[in-house]
Structure 1
Amino acid sequence: MAAAVVREFSGAYPGLAGSAAFIDTISLHEEKRFLETLDSGLRMVEEEFARIDRGGGKTFAGSIAFKLYDTFGFPVDLTADLCRERGVTLDEKGFEEEMQRQRAQSREAWKGGEVGVSDAAAAELSRAGISVEFVGYETFSAAARVASLFRDGERVREAGADEEVDLVTDVTPFYGEAGGQAGDRGTAAGEGTRLEIVSARRPSHDIVIHRAKVVGGTLREGMVLDLSVDGPTRRQTQANHTATHLLQAALRQVLGTHIRQAGSYVGPDKLRFDFTHFEAVSEAALRQVEDLVNETVFAVRPVDWEYLPHEEAVSRGAMAFFGEKYADVVRMVTVPGVSMELCGGTHVGNTGEIGLFRILSEGALAAGVRRIEAATGPGAFHQLREEADRLHLVAGELKVSPADAVERVRRLLAQVRALEKDVQEARRRAARDLVGEVMSKAREAGGVLSVSAEVDPMDPASLRELADAVKGKMKSGILLLGCREEGRCHLVAGVTADLTGSYSASEIVRKAASAVGGGGGGRKDMAQAGGSRLENLAEALDSLWSWVPKG
């Protein structure tokens, strides 16, 4: 299908032909993911049917139907069809109530709840024609006049000691939180007043609002303050921001140009980068990405920035983000030969200031979106130190040097696997020895040889092997075996080939599993299940007799 689409639309979209292989990969991945999701959803459906059977009810919970819809993408019509097949009524009213509740929550989230204090202040400042000049690209400090003060969204003229207010100045070196980068913090002082700037936000492109706590004196509109950004915090944030640009460039080089930023966080402690990709990134690829970033860090390349028309920046190859609105004139940040992005954030002067780059984790965020967390400089060093400390701890426990620890662990694991294999083989021999004992409990009813028995604790594989051996001994019949192991019940049902037209091991084991609060399934001739209600194992095993003809 993908090939046909590429052929049909390549004329209108020339880039499709070159991306045909990638489109095929994405299509196959999405099909596989859908089938996995479908399987998970069907398991949830079976668990709900088992709950209904146990309780003797006839209603499929609307909340479960909604969870199937919301989590697994199950259309409610599909759930309703499955219910009809089982003679169960779907609670459509309950489903609709859950749907309405989610819509209400979504609307509230979209509105952002109540308007924040900074947003209210920004709206009033905008109406008054007040704007703030940001000078933080060039300096960490600046003299500024207090333009406005707000307390709980209301404009005030002054604030005393220990009060917290929103402070707006005509000039600021503080970067206001925006574009994924955390806002600056620092201090301000002047005319006998001292402030702690606990955060800074940029609710609009020309407004920066400082959250300030008055430490001493009285803060008034019109007074002049010396604003100072916390240097170490800003420098580490800058290092993480530039590293994010290098990370995206390395991901595109290693994984492909389909990589696009889908979100980010840049703070002094770490960086978080969300990006479009269809599968987990391998350890080898992550190492390659990490190496590429560090190569650029150690090369001490300059980090340049300039203002230029948006169209010119894009024509020169600058990365622009889909859905983002840009002004006619934009700021372009460049690491020559490596990265070129439109960005309003703060950055280091050269890549050497990053010091060191270390990937901390990689994982799924949503369908088609992955997340990498990483650290630079001191954060990366501390992470390496923690890993080294853990290695020395393990080496000490093993009584070997750190250099020999990995090989020692490998030998120990090989020994453990060999012992586990011996234990499993011993259990299977013991299971085979139980065939005669199990067969002694067989009885014939209605012309069908049947056996239901609890056996000694064993793993599921051993229980299956025992069931196979009993089936072979029976020649013709049905069976249901169960055991308790490590806080769970294991169940296996079997039907000899000549009786699969009349009995289904899958149905037998599913009914038995409902008694122990579990689920399962399989083929007509062999099926397996499990549950956690150990006290109901006898009841589960007795369910076999409901399938056997009386007489």
Structure 2
Amino acid sequence: MQTHEIIKRFREHFENAGHTYVPSASLILDDPNLLFVNAGMVPFKPYFLGEAPPPYKRATSIQKCVRTPDIDEVGKTTRHNTFFQMAGNFSFGDYFKEEAIRLAWELITKSQDDGGYGFDPERIWVTVYLDDDEAIELWKKVADLPDERIQRRDGKDNYWDMGVPGPGGPCSEIYYDRGPAFGAEGGPVVDEDRYLEIWNLVFMQDERGELSPKLGHPPIGSLPSRNIDTGMGIERVAFLLQGVDNVYETDLVLPVIRAAEELSGRKYGVDPVDDVRFRVIADHARSGVLIVGDGVTPGNEARGYVLRRLLRRIVRSARLLGIDQPVLVRFAELVRDAMGPTYPELVSGFPRIAQVLKAEEDTFLRTLEAGERIFGTAAGEVKAEGRATLPGDKAFQLHDTYGFPIDLTLEMAAEAGLTVDEDGFRKLMAEQRARAKADAAGKKTGHGDQTVYRELLDLGATEFTGYQELASEATLRGIVREGKRVRSAREGEIVEVVLDRTPLYAESGGQESDAGTIVSGSAELEVVDVQKVARKLWVHQVRVLSGEIAEGERVEARVDPEWRVGARQGHSGTHVVHAALRQVLGPSALQSGSYNKPGYLRLDFAWTGGLSESTRSEIEEVSNLAVRRDLPVSVVYTDMGEAQEMGAVALFGETYDDTVRVVEIGGEWSRELCGGTHVEHSSQIGPITVIGESSVGSGVRRLEAYVGIEAFQYLARERALVQNVATLLKVPDAEVPARVEALVERLRAAEKELERVRAAQLLSSAGSLAEQALDVRGVAVVAVRLPEGIAAGDVRTLAGEVRNRLGEKAGVVALFAPDGDKVSFVVATTNAARSLGLAAGKLVPAFAPAVDGRGGGKPDLAQGGGTDPAGIDQALAAVRAEVDRAVDQR
């Protein structure tokens, strides 16, 4: 049975049982606890927690999921996937254990002719939570299962939660006995390779805290209602029904392995080592394409880092199979063809997906070539010194300078028969992070204890009136201070307030929240921020400017009209620039993120390579032509299916309700799903001035622009600047560029001449330094502190020249150059000194601690730096002492 048929039968079975089919959500959801959706229930989490009312009592879905904690096990076992499809059925306070068991049993055991999967009931085993006697009795009642095929297991196996605070509950897992050829008798508690888990029924009734009931800790409470959350692994069912040995050989995965065989000339199933590489390629190709398809681009943090790691493991595995040509786009085409029927966005978005993959592969191939060379040198030095561990600083250098993920260095080290000092590497990584600036775009809220908001949500969702009016009468439903509900707030306090209706826009879709005020008969509140909770509740962070405010009062919420004018211009301007971008660059230049506020917009989009000045100008011109045409701006409310048929653009990572809002500018010219506030005609946006374009990651560019009065002000400043420069240069405005260019050329020529003179002066001191050499057991040692501020490159040049002046002598040159609170150093040795065992690289450890530094290099030349110039004199003495010791021991 093909995978698409397995999916079709699952969906039909549960739709026939009254379940609403819910299409798969994006792998990227607005949940700070998750990099990727890792379970079928994640999109339904607000309903299970009671944060939002479910729009249906029963639902079913085929959810795409990614789990990466076991990434290193992919390919080594036949059970691990990073990407998988989780088929699930869900009940929100409707049916519970008995119905869940019955529905699952019917589908898996019903004959294939009758629309089921046709599994032999005599080969089905189940497990239940330790004390769940009710589930045991229900399995006997519904499925007539004997006691010997029902096994009890503890919380580690049969209690489910997401690994973070949230919903959970005891579960019952369904296993299929593959037969004696695959392992020992005794059920799942004995062998989970022979007895393969295919379905997990979670009886979701608990809310877990920081400590999980999986480890024996009690839940912190009960969910508002008892629910059902199930998950059937599509890939596992597929390999059982297709009669193959593992998930890698199923119909949707095997084509990639076959392509890798063709490209490499090697065969899958012959060499166990090669088989791991084939499986890594097949698994990661699916994951990579699906992740890129949902808007993630390779990077060095969070989701981007996981994606980069997956893609680079594909390229690395292909090279180890002997494939020396680009492979990512070729494999991606096969994934698109296999997965497209279920996820059509892979087909429509493939040009962008291919573009991102090609850019990452090109980058990594360059990285790989340079990094392998550096690794080979480092590994050779380690082996030459009789050691078996690559130092942590070398692994860090490969990561920091050459972009090598640590797992790739670990793999290469293992292939070379070495280990890696991972502790040392991670220490250096931690130091680097500590120096980095905090991410200014960090999340404002997380999924902590939101009980207080749940109480307020029970009173009803907030009605947003801001599309129609700038001021609304409202009732103050709740006041929250430091996570706890309070009755009132006084002047000077900063609290959160929830109203039954509000015109103030809550931050979302890239648009900043509105500025404004909330007033009552006795108090005035300044609105500092507005955020959504559970997508239904508007939470206003306010500062009480005067008076006292209390729950239940009637108030008026007011938007600052000037702020709203600018906000509408910024958001509509974003849509216009996005449409212009796609018109100039093509449909694959899709927005992958945005931020807008009054007078300013920022738009991230998928693209490789910087935009030329002419391209930027064309985007700006197309945008302003749209403004001049006074295009009408309209809003249509519809469902997602119709919106997609209309060609509306959905943005990556955004979550949409069943009814979506489509914003059109000039009809089909710009048509996007959007909940933001907008102008009524494009002319109201005002001028759009592009002020910058830059890279924000592999395959992602960022365009910035001013709109409206801010664009006027920017252009006025630019004009004044040009006029001031023209006045200083005493030329007309039009001649400023040529005159500035001439001045720059003259300045460069003068700097080159100064550099030549300075270098000549520096090198002229080489002779006198060589004459200062001290004799240490027959070795001429020049250990000198140089004047302040000499660049590291010049120190290296001078050290080489001093060494040359020593001629045939056995000589060691060690020069130290302080520069503020830092110091650079270079050590050079002559041929005669090296014949005595005096290698430059080996001398560094003897003196580097004195200047709190580190460094290294080859026998003839080594260099490094430190952070303690006060230790230079001690370092000079250490150089002489180390030469004395080394020669004495020969």
User: TM-score higher than 0.5 here?
Assistant: yes
Q: For the structure 1 residues 338 and 34, does the alpha-carbon distance in structure 2 shift closer, same or farther, using more than 3 Å as the test? A: farther
The reply to whether residue 415 of structure 1 matches residue 415 of structure 2 is no
User: What is the correspondence of 1:14-413 to structure 2 with a 5 Å cutoff?
Assistant: 15=347, 23-32=357-366, 73-75=405-407, 78=410, 112=446, 115=449, 122-128=453-459, 130-142=460-472, 144-146=473-475, 148-152=477-481, 166-187=496-517, 196-211=526-541, 225-253=555-583, 257-268=587-598, 270-277=600-607, 285-336=615-666, 337-363=668-694, 365=696, 369-391=700-722, 403-413=734-744
Name 2:887's counterpart in structure 1. Answer: 549
Q: How many residues of Structure 1 are paired with residues of Structure 2 in the alignment?
A: 526
The one-letter amino acid paired with 1:491 is V
Q: Check conservation: 1:431, 1:462, Cα contact below 8 A.
A: no
Q: For the structure 1 residues 207 and 67, does the alpha-carbon distance in structure 2 shift closer, same or farther, using more than 3 Å as the test? A: farther
User: What is the correspondence of 1:472-483 to structure 2 with a 5 Å cutoff?
Assistant: 474-475=807-808, 477-482=810-815
* Superposed CA offset, 1:216-272 (max 9, x none): 777676665554321110111111111222333344455565544444333226334
Q: Check conservation: 2:579, 2:669, Cα contact below 8 A.
A: yes
Q: Check conservation: 2:356, 2:608, Cα contact below 8 A.
A: no
Q: Check conservation: 2:664, 2:672, Cα contact below 8 A.
A: yes
Name 2:111's counterpart in structure 1. Answer: none
Q: Check conservation: 2:691, 2:706, Cα contact below 8 A.
A: yes
Q: Check conservation: 1:10, 1:17, Cα contact below 8 A.
A: no
Q: Please report the TM-score for the alignment, with normalisation by the length of structure 2.
A: 0.48
* Superposed CA offset, 1:415-463 (max 9, x none): 33223322333344445544544554568888x8655253865653475
The one-letter amino acid paired with 2:358 is D
* Superposed CA offset, 1:11-52 (max 9, x none): 43685699656633321124446788999999xx9xxx9xxx
Distance 2:490 2:552 in 1: 15
Distance 1:195 1:109 in 2: 24
* Superposed CA offset, 1:33-73 (max 9, x none): 6788999999xx9xxx9xxxxxxxxx999999999989974
Distance 1:393 1:73 in 2: 50
Distance 2:832 2:646 in 1: 71
Name 1:5's counterpart in structure 2. Answer: 331
Name 1:493's counterpart in structure 2. Answer: 828
Q: CA deviation at 1:148?
A: 1.8
Distance 1:134 1:478 in 2: 81
- SS for the counterpart of 1:246 is helix
Distance 2:589 2:784 in 1: 55
Name 1:52's counterpart in structure 2. Answer: none
Q: For the structure 1 residues 514 and 215, does the alpha-carbon distance in structure 2 shift closer, same or farther, using more than 3 Å as the test? A: closer
The one-letter amino acid paired with 2:678 is H
Name 2:876's counterpart in structure 1. Answer: 538
Q: CA deviation at 1:311?
A: 0.9
Q: CA deviation at 1:376?
A: 1.8
Q: For the structure 1 residues 92 and 374, does the alpha-carbon distance in structure 2 shift closer, same or farther, using more than 3 Å as the test? A: same
The one-letter amino acid paired with 1:493 is A
Considering Cα pairs closer than 8 Å and 6+ residues apart, tell me whether 1 or 2 has the greater RCO: 1
- SS for the counterpart of 1:549 is helix
Distance 1:440 1:202 in 2: 75
Q: Check conservation: 1:294, 1:356, Cα contact below 8 A.
A: yes
What is the identity percentage for the equivalent residue pairs of Structure 1 and Structure 2?
29
Name 2:296's counterpart in structure 1. Answer: none
Name 1:484's counterpart in structure 2. Answer: 817
Name 1:105's counterpart in structure 2. Answer: none
Distance 1:90 1:8 in 2: 37
Name 2:88's counterpart in structure 1. Answer: none
Q: Which moved more, 1:336-345 or 1:215-224?
A: 215-224
Q: Which moved more, 1:375-384 or 1:428-437?
A: 428-437
Q: CA deviation at 1:540?
A: 6.4
Q: Check conservation: 1:495, 1:504, Cα contact below 8 A.
A: no
Q: Which moved more, 1:155-164 or 1:246-255?
A: 155-164
Q: Which moved more, 1:334-343 or 1:479-488?
A: 479-488
Q: For the structure 1 residues 417 and 191, does the alpha-carbon distance in structure 2 shift closer, same or farther, using more than 3 Å as the test? A: closer
- SS for the counterpart of 2:510 is coil
Structure 2 gaps of 5+ residues are 1-325, 341-346, 383-388, 435-441
Q: For the structure 1 residues 480 and 264, does the alpha-carbon distance in structure 2 shift closer, same or farther, using more than 3 Å as the test? A: same
